[in-house]
Structures are given as C-alpha cells and as structure tokens.
Structure 1
Amino acid sequence: MNDVVKPVATAHVDWSSKNYLVVDDFIGIRQLLRESLRNLGARHIDQASSGGEAMALLARTRYDVVLCDYNLGEGKNGQQVLEEARVRNLLIPSCVWMMVSAEKSTESVMGAAEHQPDAYLIKPITEGVLLTRLNRVWHKKQVFRKIDQAYAEKDFLRAARMCDEQIAVDKVHEIELLRMKALLLLKSGEPGKAREAYERVLQEREYQWARTGLAKIRMANGDYEQARQIFQTVISENRYYMDAYDNLARAYAAMGQSEEACNILERASKMSPNSVTRQRELGALSLKLGHVGMAEKAFRKCIAIGEYSVNKSPEPYLGLARVCGLKNDTKEAMALLTTAQREFTADLIGLRAKITEGLVYHESGDYRRARKAGDDLEEMLKAQPERPDVPTCMEMASLLFAVGVKEAPVELLSYVIRNNHDNMVLLDEVQRVFDKARLSEEGVALIKASKKEASDLMNQGVLLWKTGKLEEAVVWMRDARRELPNNLRILFNCAQILISHLQQMGYDEAIALEATEVLLHVDKVQPGQQRFAQLMEQLAALCPKVGEIVAQQDQAA
C-alpha cells in the first residue's frame, strides 16, 4: 500500500513545486496568466506562443498544469494541441488541462469538449475564477499521482491495481478511479474486468460514460444489437454525447447497415463538424455507398480542418481523388494525388497514390491508363520488398485483378493471409476479392496453404522452446518475425520466448530491448491486446529499464 495517495486538504497544496505551461498567442494574456499563477506561489512556468511551440515543450516536460488558449493564430489551435498531446501520451493522468477561450460558439466548445479538457474557461478570466477552478480540478486529479509512472511505462495492469488500492483509502474519488481503472483494463485487453468496473459505477449513478463503456465492450464481443440499443439510449438522454454517435455508427456498420451508419455520422458531423476522424469516416462510408456529393463534402471538410491536426492523413486526399474520378474530373483527381505525395512523406504514399490513380482511371472508363497504373504498381512491388498494410494490400490486389494482372495480387493476398492466419473475418474478405475476380477455387486453395505455412512457422519455434532448446527457439522466432513481421501470434510467441530467455539465462540488455521492441510493435499494430499487458508486466519485473525504453519510443513517435 506504499503507492496510495491519501486525500489532502486544499490548504496543503504546494503550488510552488508544480510545473506549469501557459499557451496563448498574445503576450499580454500570457503575462496575466503567469502573474495569476505566481500569486498562487508557482515558480516553474513555461510559456508558448503557438501550438507548435506548445507541442515541443509538452514532448520535453511532464507538466502538472496546462492553461491553453483555443485560438492560437496560424497553426494548431488549442483543441488540436490537446488532441495531439493525448494521442502521443504526453499527458500523465494527474495533469490538469484547462482550455481558455473567448470562443462561445457551439462547434468550438463541443470540438474542444470531445477531447475532455478538465475545465473550459471563457475569457475574460479573473484571478479569483482561475484559482477557484484550478483548486477544484487539481484535487480531483491528484488521486492519479502515484498511477502516473505505471501509466507512462504502459504497465496498465499495475496501474489498474493501484486504482483499487487508492479506492480503499479514498472513497470520495471512487468514481474517477473506477473510470480510470476501466480504461486501463481495456488498454490491457481485459474487457471482462473493465465491465465489472463500469457496472460498479452504474450501481451508484447513471453516468453516460460508464453506459457507453459497457456498450463498447458488448460491441467488441460481437453483440452489436445490444450495443446499438445502449448507444441510442445514451443519445436520447444526451443529444450532445458525441462518442456515442461515433460508436453507434460503428455498430450499424458492423451489422451491415451501412446506410444507417452513414446517417448517424452525417448527423454527428453537423452537430460537431471539427472532428477530423469523423469527417474522414463519413467520407469513406459515403464513397462506399455511392453518395458522391456527401463524400465530397466530408473529404473537403476533413482536408480543411486537418491541416494542423495530429490526425491529418492521406485518406481524405485519396478519397476525394476517387470522388473526382467518379465525376470524370481526372484533372483535379491527379492534382489531389500530387498534393498528397507532397504533403505526406510516408514510404507508402507513392504506392497508395498509384493505386488510387489506377482506380480513378478504371472508374472513369480510361482502361488503358488504368492498366498502365497496374504495370507501374507491379514494378513498385518488385522494387519494394516490404509489403504495405492490410487495407492497402487488399485495395491493390483488387485493382490488379481488375486490370488483368494475376500473379502480383495473389502474392499480396498470400502475404495478408500468412500475417493474419487466424483472423476469420479478414480471410472471408480475402475470399471475396478472389470471388470478384472469378478465381474462387484459387482463393480457397491459397487460404488453406497460406494458413498452414504460417501455423507451421510459429509451431516450430514454440516446439523448440517447450523442448528446452531456448537459444534455437530465439533464433527461429527472429527468422519467423522477419518473414511475417505483422503476425500477432508469432510476435507474441517471440516476446514470450525472449522473456523466458531472461528468466532462465539471466538479465541480458540486448534481449530485454528486443522483447520491448517486439511488444511495442504489437501495440502499434493492434492496441489493447490482453497478452500485451501480461507480457509487459512480466518484462517490467525483469527489466528495470523498460519504462525508459517506452518513454524513448513515445518521444520518437
């Protein structure tokens, strides 16, 4: 119980020891806020005049309190700074984030609220209001102070246990701790235990976030209809609870009711239009359904609001190019593809742009240029041994089949199967690609052979491990990982064997680093896996530097 934080009276807060960040594009406002904090006793106060400057400071320092203006001039606004800080895990659970703004419009307030600041203060702000709100929020958040380190090290199971220890001595903040515990358990791939935490909250009071959390767990378990009903109930009780709209749309999509999903996303986007991810999903779903006008509107909005967002991505540019192709405006389509390749430096952007180019020409009826794009793709695949992500592989295979190529798409789909040999939903999608190309029998045979190849590769490494040939098992699983770099079963077994090596052969820094890198790659490929949390906990007990490695990886990202 050494990690428990005992409730502290408000008078005993040592404000002088905290780290503060004030973000505002006007120097006068920054000085006023700084003086207000100094009157409270604060000494360590950093200042940023732009969103970019704020991100650089947040990446270097763990702040206790952030006061951030909404409008920051050119570049990221306050909502986008908060959004990126959360995505990059730059905020510890006990950090207080206060959004400060003169903005009163519904879309601005809702947009900021979606990223859950601890308070939203409307200018002008008096010193008394600032200090009152800061005091109130500070004491609410400090129950997480001892959980911060475990959270930063991604040791989510330990952090969840610390929530229970804290609840035992601090019933006043039980609800906040249960909410954090549920989120930690979900990150750890423990939905059953997360459900128990949410249900415990709901015994006290009908919190919409707890009800939504239960619905997400039901959806993850495949109970889409029950999840749908819960999300709709939440929305009927609070029409501004945007998270419920997004998940309701996903529930409809999972049940094959794409029109209903599209309608929900359109409704949500009208209420809170500044979500990059929501506009992107609306555009993609509208395009899939053939609602060209709606897709165009969503993609153009996504590009506009995503300019300085951490969620800026090539998808809306590629999607809008597809829309232009359907409208026979190949000139703008090609201009969008050029812009995408200029804006994004990821290795796959050239490949993805070429796929979209082929689809644009094919959909607009220019089959000669579509075939030329297919030929170019074949050459790009030969020059690039590393295969792209699953959606890109599937899209490329579909295009190549459509323009008359056979060998390259078969190789791509074999790669997809071998890296996902136990994902039956994805294997069904692969079979549908073969069916559309009128190659159903070839698809059945390839899926069977590729599944066996992946299973044999994994099983041989596990057999070496279980028969005591530990060094051979490590070497075998390294080769398996190089062959199938995104196969979760192989990655998990590789990490398990490396951890066994540490347990049986003693601490080896190179082995510990390798195990950490494997697990962090798993978390990147598919977050929230139960085995990830369990293996990270085992590794943390053996490797004292795991937390440092995780922090370095987060900063590099």
Structure 2
Amino acid sequence: MNETTQSAPDRPFKNKRVLLIDDQRSFQVMMKAMLQNVGLNKVTILATAEEARRRCSKESFDIYLIDYNLGSGENGRQLLEYLREAKLLPPLAVVFIVSGDNSRSMVLSALESEPDDYMMKPFSQDQLRLRLLRALQRKQSLAGVFRALAEQEPQAVIQACDEALKDENNRYANYCRCLMAEMLLREQEPQRAHDLLIQALNDVESSWMRMSLGKACYLLGQHEAAVEHLKKAVQDRPLMVEAYRWMASAQLAASHNDAAMETLERAIQISPQSGMLHQQMAEVSLAREDYLKAKDSLSTLMELNRFSVQRTPQALGNYIHCLILYALHSEDPYHIANLQKQVNSALYRCRDALLTTEFDYAAFEQVCQARVQMARGDLVRGKKMLYKAHQNYMAEPERMPEALLSETVLGLLQLGEFEYADQLQACLSESALADPMVSQCLSSARHDSLLAERNQKYQELNEQGILAYKNGHLDEALLFFRDALRRAPANTSAALNKIQVLIQLLGQYKKDRGTELYEECRATLSALDAVILNQTQRARLDELHAEFAQLRRP
C-alpha cells in the first residue's frame, strides 16, 4: 500500500488522492467541485461504508472525507473504527468526519473516534481548503510521530515526540507533550509522565495536559490529586468527555461512589452517544448491584456498536449476564418470565454478525439458554444444557474462545458448581481478566448478595461435611452434604461427596435404614449419570458406581 505522496510547498494538494464517502448525490457533486477548485483533482466518490471497505482494501488515499450518516447500516464513525482496526489508513493520511447534524451528542460522538478534524455542513470552499491544509501540514511536520503511531510502537512515539520538542518553534509542542505522556502511561511509566506534564504546565496551562496529569496521578494512586486536576480540566473544557471518565474512576478509587455516579451521569447527559461512557456506567452500576442501570447502559452500548468492530460476543455475554442478574433481583415474576424473550432478542440481534466469524456461536447460545433455565428455577435442565454446550472443550478448556469460557464460568457460578468454575476461570487469559467489564461480571457472580450468601453457606456446609467424614462421623457428614445440596442443588462435588458417605453408611445399618440410604444413593447416582461431567468428575463417579455395584441391596 502506497504512503502519502510528497507535494511542493507552493502546491500543497498536488497529486493528493481524495476518497469522499457520502450517500447524498447533491453533496457529492458539490464537494467534487469544491475539491477540484482548491487543486484536488484525484477524487474517488463512494456512497456506502461497504463500498469503502472494499475499495480501501485495494487502494489507499491521502485524504478521507467520511460523512457520519451513511443511511442504513454502518455509519462513518464505525467505518473509521474498522479502517483503523484493519490498518487500512496510511500513517500520513488525514481523515475528516463530515456531518449535517450539529447536535452536541453527534459532534462529541464523532470526535470520540479521533478524526484529524470534524466539519459541519454547510461549509465554504475556503474553510475546506484551510482545514485540509492545516491537517496535512501537521501530518507532514510530525511525520515521524505519526509513522511510529501507525506501527503501534510507544517507545518510538516517545522518541519521535522528544525529537520534535527540540525545535523551540514547534507549533505542535503541546500535542507532542500530551502524546508523549500518553505513551509513557501505556508503557506503565506514570511517574515520568507526571514529571513531564508538571514541567509543561509550569510554562503554559492546557486542559489536555491537565487531563493527562489527572490520569497519571490516578495511575500513581494519588486519587484525590487526580480528581482535582480532572475537575480543573472540565472547568476549562466542559465538553471534555474523557476527563469525566477518568474523574469517575478516581472518585471510585477514593471511595467517593456517589460522586462517581454523578460524574458519569453528567457526562452521559453531555455525550449520550459515547460508548466509552456507557461501558463505564455499566461497570460501576454492576459493582453497586444496580442491575437495572447496568443492563440499560449495556443495551445502549449494544445499539451504539451496531455494525461496529466492537460488537463482540463478550459484549453480548456481558449484557445477558446483567439481564439475568436484574431478573433474579427484581422479585417480580414478570421479569423472570420475560427473561427468555429478552435473551432470545439479544442473541438474534447479534447472530448474523457472530456466525460470520470463527467463534463457536452455537455453544455460546446454548450456555446463555442454560443460564435462562437456571434463572427460571429449572436447575436440572440448565445443568444438562450447560455441560452439553462445552463438552467438546472439557478435555482442553484452554481451547475455548474467551467469551465462551467466561460465559461458562458465569453459568457454573450461577448453577452452584463453584469448584469447577474455579478450574475454568484459571484458564482465562490475563488479557481477558484485565478487561474491566469481564472482571466485574465475574466479581458480580461471586459477590452478588443473593449468590454470595448461597455460595458462602454452601462452602461452609461442604467443608464441615468433609471434616466430619475425615473424622469418621458419617451421619453428621451426610447431614452437612444434604444441607449443602439444598443451598446448591446442582453442585456435582457435594453430590459426589454425599454418595461416598452413603456407600460407607450402607455397610453399617440394618435393613430398615439401609433401604432408605440405598435408594438415596441410587437416585443421586442416576441424577449425575444424566448430565455430562468433566473428566475429573466422571472418573470419580465411575469409581463410586463400582463401589455401589459391589453392595447388596438391603
């Protein structure tokens, strides 16, 4: 793919290739005339994001003019996200988002995708020429910086910024300092970023550098200082959405939970189409067990990411998890009864997109349906569906796609299969566990007030049963295991423990008590035979079957 061509200073647009993507024929005609009048004669015009994807996979351009609203389907912001993700944009190309919608939410949503500039229709030919010229000059002046950014090499970006800052007349000095600080933060060097920004702010006040300083303080654990810096940034620039996000994180870290919620709510009022804000609101709401707000935020996020590269099975799983927790906590039979419909709707909306990938959608869908059955009280059916869904991965759980693995762990925790859930969660990658939403979903499944109480009581009873068994108190152990199963009726480990105790007791009692124990043991064995188990559980069950077969029926 060719990189941006050089041009003479007196003819800045010479040989520059332009791609205009807009679905309005009248605007296409007007823009082509404007571009030719300012000296841009190599203009390609397309009407849809789909056409742009195909064309950009074969050809590169120097200037991309992308309309935000492209009719039905993918919008301009989502197209830009795709082109970046697919690395189809040359390092020195300039990208403009263009829109006729001047609403604040639309503008902020477009700016969140970080184009080189944003232009509101209508605009004059002189405005277009000046803005294009300014964007191209910045790319050329900081060519080394943007090439390093394209290669995703933070250390190279830092070096390029440092080199650019040696020029005392560099008009982009503040940009370079902010970018350098951002790269230092990515490289986990917050102290260096902090010192750089403090020095820069002594020379000139900048809301962008102030925001970066707030981020550095947050990462250094200086949460109160971070809040103060970020408050100053939003005082100077009230529409700086990213500063609100970091302020909320710092407030949460400083245990100012109510203030964090107020910060996020204010930010969402300013920028209701910000996916990052809705993601953070969902995380915070989930931590506070506000499942209504969590599911509503994720529902909005799913809609915002429609046709987006960010619409992943993990995002779908997070949303379904919140739907289930909300239904369980609502204490309203309607929400439990309506859960199946809501989950089916969510799965259907994402089905076509996920089926085109290598992701095991069929297994994922079955895990989600299993969790619905558990929420509705049918634990036996839910358990059978859950184990069947991931039976092909039981021997090698590390082969499971991350989204399927995390959803299976959530299902096992909901079912009460705590030991098996721990085994599978250990197979999740560090990158998956580092995802704040994944981490929060797993935490909510373990510490949710309803589930945690059941889990804690189960753990206590099961451990007491094991201790009693080891001490030879079999009748006492049986009572503990029975009670543990009342707390977690589908727990395989407790059921296996109970069978082991029953087999031991069967040799001690006469016919009247022996018959009762024999039938209880047989019924528990049959219940476990009806479900697919992992290798460890199946091996232990086979051993108990062999021991039981050697007993005479009382």
**1:135-214, aligned counterparts within 5 Å?**
135-169=133-167, 170-214=169-213
Moved more, 63-72 or 363-372: 363-372
Q: For 1:344, which of 348, 354, 358 is the aligned residue?
A: 354
Count of aligned pairs: 435
Q: Which amino acid aligns with 1:118?
A: D
**1:392-411, aligned counterparts within 5 Å?**
393=405, 396-397=408-409, 399-405=411-417, 408-411=420-423
Q: Distance in 2 between matches of 1:101 and 1:199?
A: 37
CA displacement 1:39-83 (0-9 Å, x = unmatched): 333243332211232344444445332222222112222232334
Q: Distance in 1 between matches of 2:303 and 2:434?
A: 39
Name the structure 2 match of 1:17. 15
Contact 2:364–2:389 under 8 Å retained in 1: no
Indicate the structure whose relative CO is greater, using CA pairs within 8 Å and at least 6 residues apart: 1
Name the structure 2 match of 1:489. none
Q: Distance in 2 between matches of 1:335 and 1:15?
A: 53
Contact 2:406–2:425 under 8 Å retained in 1: yes
Name the structure 2 match of 1:102. 100
Q: For 2:128, which of 124, 127, 130 is the aligned residue?
A: 130
Contact 1:259–1:289 under 8 Å retained in 2: no
Q: Secondary structure at the match of 1:22?
A: strand
CA shift in 2, pair 1:241/1:50, >3 Å: same
Unaligned residue ranges in structure 2 (runs of 5+): 1-5, 329-334, 464-554
Contact 2:374–2:382 under 8 Å retained in 1: yes
Q: Does 1:242 align with 2:252?
A: no
CA shift in 2, pair 1:225/1:344, >3 Å: farther
Q: Distance in 1 between matches of 2:187 and 2:421?
A: 36
Q: Distance in 2 between matches of 1:430 and 1:415?
A: 19
Q: Secondary structure at the match of 2:427?
A: helix
CA shift in 2, pair 1:128/1:212, >3 Å: same
Q: Secondary structure at the match of 2:417?
A: coil
Name the structure 2 match of 1:492. none
Contact 1:198–1:214 under 8 Å retained in 2: yes
CA displacement 1:250-293 (0-9 Å, x = unmatched): 33444565554444333322221112343244345434534344
Q: Does 1:278 align with 2:277?
A: yes
CA shift in 2, pair 1:403/1:109, >3 Å: closer
CA displacement 1:209-248 (0-9 Å, x = unmatched): 2111122222223333332332233233332111012222
Deviation for aligned residue 1:338: 3.6
CA displacement 1:94-133 (0-9 Å, x = unmatched): 4322222221112111211222333332222222221122
Contact 2:190–2:217 under 8 Å retained in 1: no
Deviation for aligned residue 1:380: 4.6
CA displacement 1:393-439 (0-9 Å, x = unmatched): 5664454255343653242144359999999xx8x979978994555
CA displacement 1:442-474 (0-9 Å, x = unmatched): 99xxxxxxxxxxxxxxxxxxxxxxxxxxxxxxx
Q: For 1:115, which of 101, 113, 117 is the aligned residue?
A: 113
Moved more, 240-249 or 198-207: 198-207
Deviation for aligned residue 1:18: 2.3
CA shift in 2, pair 1:39/1:168, >3 Å: same
Q: Which amino acid aligns with 2:339?
A: T
Q: Secondary structure at the match of 1:415?
A: coil
CA shift in 2, pair 1:421/1:395, >3 Å: closer
CA shift in 2, pair 1:310/1:398, >3 Å: closer
Contact 1:219–1:227 under 8 Å retained in 2: yes
Q: Which amino acid aligns with 1:336?
A: S
Q: Which amino acid aligns with 2:297?
A: A
CA shift in 2, pair 1:378/1:56, >3 Å: closer
Q: Distance in 1 between matches of 2:35 and 2:195?
A: 41
**1:129-528, aligned counterparts within 5 Å?**
129-169=127-167, 170-255=169-254, 260-314=259-313, 315-316=315-316, 317-319=319-321, 321-322=323-324, 325-326=327-328, 327-328=335-336, 329-336=338-345, 338-339=347-348, 340-345=350-355, 347=359, 349-377=361-389, 379-382=391-394, 385-388=397-400, 393=405, 396-397=408-409, 399-405=411-417, 408-416=420-428, 436=455, 439=459
Q: Which amino acid aligns with 1:310?
A: V
Q: Distance in 2 between matches of 1:95 and 1:59?
A: 15
Contact 2:94–2:136 under 8 Å retained in 1: yes
Q: Distance in 1 between matches of 2:269 and 2:364?
A: 30
Q: Distance in 2 between matches of 1:152 and 1:417?
A: 26
Q: Distance in 1 between matches of 2:189 and 2:323?
A: 41
CA shift in 2, pair 1:267/1:361, >3 Å: farther
Q: Secondary structure at the match of 1:386?
A: helix
Q: Distance in 2 between matches of 1:419 and 1:175?
A: 32
Q: Which amino acid aligns with 2:398?
A: E
Q: Distance in 2 between matches of 1:334 and 1:396?
A: 16
Q: Distance in 1 between matches of 2:326 and 2:262?
A: 22
Contact 2:91–2:147 under 8 Å retained in 1: no
Q: Which amino acid aligns with 1:286?
A: S
Unaligned residue ranges in structure 1 (runs of 5+): 1-7, 444-557
Q: For 1:76, which of 74, 77, 80 is the aligned residue?
A: 74
Deviation for aligned residue 1:190: 3.8
TM-score (norm 1): 0.66
Q: Distance in 2 between matches of 1:290 and 1:242?
A: 25
Contact 1:299–1:319 under 8 Å retained in 2: no
Contact 1:147–1:159 under 8 Å retained in 2: yes
Moved more, 406-415 or 101-110: 406-415
Contact 1:185–1:193 under 8 Å retained in 2: yes
CA shift in 2, pair 1:325/1:84, >3 Å: same
TM-score (norm 2): 0.67
Deviation for aligned residue 1:175: 1.9
Q: Distance in 2 between matches of 1:291 and 1:88?
A: 37
Contact 1:94–1:143 under 8 Å retained in 2: no
